[in-house]
A = this chain, B = another copy of it.
Amino acid sequence: WRAFSASSRWQLHTKEMHEELLSSLKVNQSRLMEDIHYTCQWGTGQKWGKEETETGMSRLALSDADKEARDWFVQTTKALGCHTTVDSMGNIFAIRPGIRNDGPPTFVGSHLDTQPSGGRYDGILGVAAGVEMLKVLADNWVETEYPVGVVNWTNEEGARFPISIVSSGVWAGAIPQETAHNLREVHPGTATMASELARIGYLGETPASFNNMPMAAHFELHIEQGPLLEMANKKIGVVKGVQAYKWLTVNVKGRDTHTGTTDLKSRADALLAASKMVIHSHRLATANGCLASTGILNLKPGSTNTVPGEVSFSLDIRAQKDHTVARMLQHIENDFPKIAAGEDILNSNQDCTKGLPCSITINQDFDSPATLFHPDCIEAVSRAAHSVLGENSKNLLLEMTSGAGHDSVYTSKRCPTSMIFVPCREGVSHNPAEYCKPEDCTLGAQVLLQSVLRFDRMRDE
């Protein structure tokens, strides 16, 4: 293989030869799992099982732990012969040269940041599989036609700085860099993305943009984070797109008053109003066959004997169709002010004393319309999956739409993109006990490797 690939160009191989080469390249399962768990020494989270690796992760974007994981990524990819660039959003691009360098690299990408109490696979699997791809290529002296790369995107989770997939959004020109740089951390603190990028030494000089860092394609391996693959006994999800989602911040203002001396009708209780809104958003989601979720709720002043004068909460709305999300937003913008004003929109006020009106503001922080991935990339993934899964592949494959957002949403605006999903236990994610079997991680990484190599060959077809 070595002499052969060094002396000949891929496109000169016959299709059959190429297929043979592809199936001879094998991901090393124990090495892949070691990389995953090794990097989980930085930001180790809650223990859920007996084994050393049975803990969750708590590696918020741009934390000290994230810096250490980034340093590992830079050192490892450099040692594998990559040229590594950090852009102004802290995105790290590791590029392995190809035979021809007159076209942009085909990228594998995901993220090393996690939820505050997240797992070991969400994002981490995708980056580790990218590194494993580089190792397999190096071990086998494979020269690709064009360069290939691995990218670690910054703050994918949106858990610390409250816009998800924000740095691929800046790269794609969809989110202004200023907006991203000025994002303030969600939990008490004054840090911004810019200040934290600078603090940990990852505020790169290359402006974050597809112009400076063009991609021929972007492939992303990820755990499904939902139950569909597991329930259907499938091994690989061929992801054709991502559902639409919007993030809102709702701020309800009432009046701080004493809990012991203020009768119910003299209260402008911001928490009572917010509680009604949380319930109402679930009713609306039920009625519209979509999702609504509140993950953050902060109140002021936060004292047992003071009626809260202010409540701020997040609202995450998701649906397959853009028009469903739009309809949800309409309902919310119509109904929430009525709830704040004390109207009986829930049909449940009759048993509750009517208090004084609260005021409300609703801000849209983030909007990601429904995304469709590129047919070429979907085809590369699909062919790779069939090849990797072998004879029974038809029964092991599922075409699906992602419920979660991924940086692939934004790369898809600027280059052909698609994703590969692998099952995770009970569909649980954003939870310390998130788990993906080693053999499933490996299958996914194998499909990822083949997808990139197939796409590399397809580029000149």
Give A residues with C-beta under 8 Å from B. Answer: 115-117, 157-159, 162, 164, 186-188, 224-227, 243, 245, 247, 255-264, 266, 269, 271-272, 274-276, 278-279, 282-283, 285-287, 291, 293-297, 299-309, 314, 316, 318, 346-348, 351-353, 402-405, 427-432
Question: Given contacts A282-B264, A318-B259, A430-B258, is CB(A164)–CB(B225) below 8 Å?
Answer: no
Contacts of A261 in B (CB 8 A): 224-226, 402-404, 427, 429
List the B residue with the shortest CB-CB distance to A58: B301
Flag if B308 contacts A262 (CB, 8 Å): no
List the B residue with the shortest CB-CB distance to A347: B348
Question: Given contacts A286-B352, A348-B348, is CB(A159)–CB(B303) below 8 Å?
Answer: yes
Question: Given contacts A286-B353, A352-B286, is CB(A259)–CB(B291) below 8 Å?
Answer: yes
List the B residue with the shortest CB-CB distance to A354: B286
Flag if A403 contacts B260 (CB, 8 Å): yes
Contacts of A347 in B (CB 8 A): 348
Flag if A301 contacts B428 (CB, 8 Å): no
Flag if A302 contacts B187 (CB, 8 Å): yes
List the B residue with the shortest CB-CB distance to A279: B275
Number of copies: 2
Chain A interface, >50% SS class: loop
Question: Given contacts A258-B403, A275-B278, A303-B116, is CB(A351)–CB(B283) below 8 Å?
Answer: yes
28 A/B residue pairs, CB under 8 Å, sorted by A: A116-B302, A116-B306, A117-B256, A117-B309, A157-B305, A158-B303, A158-B304, A159-B306, A226-B258, A257-B428, A258-B403, A259-B291, A261-B403, A264-B285, A272-B282, A275-B276, A275-B279, A282-B352, A283-B351, A285-B353, A286-B353, A293-B307, A295-B304, A296-B302, A304-B316, A305-B316, A305-B405, A309-B431
Flag if B348 contacts A279 (CB, 8 Å): yes
Contacts of A287 in B (CB 8 A): 351
Contact of A430 among B283, B305, B402 (CB under 8 A): B305
Q: How far, in Å, is A150 (CB) from chain B's closest CB?
A: 24
Most buried by B among A264, A282, A300, A429: A282
